[in-house]
């Protein structure tokens, strides 16, 4: 267990370093950062000063290690646009995105797990077919379009929900649905497949033979085992949702990290974009690492294999 966790940790660190290098090089793809920082109307002398001040005249690898050391110390540089530390900006905008992600995961799971269980109890029944229909059509819906259709229905026609802002929980309702519907089909399929797998096993037959009620067999014995892979998928999907929040937040004008990213790209504010890519990636890496370790702890087969 310890060896597996250490190996997995090593991979996570390696991946984190690679991702940091990729997001660092983004700043250089974007052109000369000194010119961007100096802004319009700057003289050549200004640009040269900035270049020396920030060390842009040093070799790229040296700059990368300087940047990495500062990043580890919690300094991701300064936003070109706001002229404030990127870390503060991200910390300011992250809570909205995290809330949205957490609500999205909760909503997706609370919709998909019961449907998946029901579909597995009676394969090829009407419920199973309806679940399949929902999952197939859900994965074909473009999220930005679905968001606008919801706005047309619930804001324009019915007038029930606000279309933009993040003041009350009502504001989060439509963004949550839009963010989560795409993840729900995957959860549902996995729950259904896991349940079908478990229901065919010997210990379920034993439980039934003992005369336990169907409810107890399904919920206590089967679901508990079938849910394990769903937990690790939830970690992966949470990471994807943070990334997907760019589209959702920009449509519903939620002031989170996603819309910060979109606006920063539009403003050529690359230190902020760089920082956001790094933070999103790190969250994903940490979550999947924890999920893998948890899985290995629950299922000894993974540790050895």
Partner 1 sequence: MTDVTHSIEEEDFGPSPREILKKSILAHRSLLLGFGAIVIIVLAALLAPVLAPHDPYLQDLSIRFTPPVWQDGGSWEHILGTDHLGRDYLSRLLYGARISLTIGIGAVLISGTIGTTLGVCAGYFGGRVDMVVNYLITVRLSMPVVLVALAIVAIFGGSLNIVIMVLGFLLWDRFAVVMRSSTMQVRNMDYVQSAQAVGCSTLRIVLTEIMPNIMNNLIVVATLEMAHAILLEAGLSFLGLGVQPPLPSWGLMVAEGKEMLFFEPWLIMIPGAALFILILSINLMGDGVRDVTAPAGKN
Report the interface residues with partner 1, using CB under 8 A. Answer: 11, 14-16, 18-19, 22, 26, 29-31, 136-137, 139-145, 148-149, 151-152, 156, 236, 239-240, 242-244, 246-247, 250, 261-262, 265-266, 268, 270, 273, 276-277, 280-281, 284-285, 288
Which CB atom, from 111 or from 273, has the smaller least distance to partner 1? 273
Give least dist CB 92 to partner 1, A: 18
Tally of CB atoms within 10 A around 39:
11
Q: Select 199 or 207, whichever has its Cβ closest to partner 1.
A: 199
Minimum distance from CB of 123 to partner 1 (Å)?
9
How far lies 49's CA from each of 6, 65, 144, 210, 299, in Å?
A: 45, 21, 44, 81, 58
Write down the least CB distance from residue 19 to partner 1, Å: 6
CA atoms within 13 A on the CB side of 149: 8
**250 closest CA partner among 81, 109, 100:** 100
Q: State the greatest distance between any 2 C-alpha atoms of the chain, in Å, as a whole number.
A: 86
CA distance 87 to 78: 8
Residue 225 or 250 having the CB closest to partner 1: 250
The least distance separating partner 1 from the CB of residue 246, rounded to whole angstroms, comes to: 5
DSSP string, 202-269: HHHHHHHHTT--HHHIIIIIIIHHHHHHHHHHHHHHHHHHHHHHHHHHHHHT--SHHHHHHHHHHTT-
Check: CB of residue 197 under 8 Å from CB of residue 226: yes
In terms of CB distance, is 207 or 293 closer to partner 1?
A: 293
CB of 209 to partner 1, least distance (A): 26
Minimum distance of partner 1 from residue 15's CB (angstroms): 5
Q: Considering beta carbons, is residue 177 or 276 the nearer one to partner 1?
A: 276
Nearer to partner 1, 230 or 242 (CB): 242
Min separation Cβ 211 and partner 1, Å:
30
Given the complex with partner 1, which of 69 and 152 has the nearer CB atom? 152
Distance CA 199, CA 260 (A): 46
For residue 235, the minimal CB distance to partner 1 (Å) is 12
Nearer to partner 1 (CB atom), residue 113 or residue 147:
147
In this structure, the number of other CB atoms found within 10 A of the CB of residue 199 comes to 18
d(CA 233, CA 283): 14
Structure tokens at 278: 């790094």
């Amino acid at each position: 267990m310890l060896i597996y966790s250490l190996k997995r940790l090593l991979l996570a660190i390696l991946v984190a370093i690679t991702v940091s290098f990729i997001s660092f090089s983004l700043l250089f793809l974007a052109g000369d950062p000194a010119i961007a920082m100096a802004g319009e109307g700057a003289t050549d002398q200004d640009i040269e000063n900035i270049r020396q001040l920030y060390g842009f005249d040093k070799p790229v690898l040296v700059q990368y290690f300087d940047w990495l050391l500062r990043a580890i110390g919690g300094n991701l540089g300064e936003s070109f646009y706001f002229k404030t530390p990127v870390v503060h900006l991200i910390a300011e905008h992250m809570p909205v995105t995290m809330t949205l992600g957490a609500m999205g995961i909760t909503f997706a799971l609370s919709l998909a797990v019961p449907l998946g269980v029901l579909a597995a109890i009676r394969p090829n029944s009407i419920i199973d077919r309806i679940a399949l229909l929902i999952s197939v059509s859900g994965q074909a819906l473009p999220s930005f379009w679905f968001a606008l259709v919801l706005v047309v229905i619930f804001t324009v026609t019915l007038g029930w929900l606000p279309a933009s802002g993040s003041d009350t929980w009502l504001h989060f309702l439509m963004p949550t649905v839009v963010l989560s519907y795409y993840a729900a089909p995957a959860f549902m399929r996995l729950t259904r497949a896991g349940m079908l797998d478990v229901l065919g096993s010997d210990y379920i037959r034993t439980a039934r033979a003992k005369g336990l009620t169907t409810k107890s067999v399904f919920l206590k014995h089967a679901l508990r085992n079938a849910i394990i892979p769903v937990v690790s998928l939830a970690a992966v999907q949470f990471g994807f949702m943070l990334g997907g929040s760019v589209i959702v937040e920009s449509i519903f004008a939620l002031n989170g990290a996603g819309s910060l990213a979109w606006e920063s790209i539009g403003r050529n504010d690359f230190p902020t974009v760089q920082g956001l890519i790094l933070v999103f990636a790190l969250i994903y890496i940490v979550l999947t690492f924890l999920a893998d370790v948890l899985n290995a702890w629950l299922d000894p087969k993974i540790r050895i294999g």
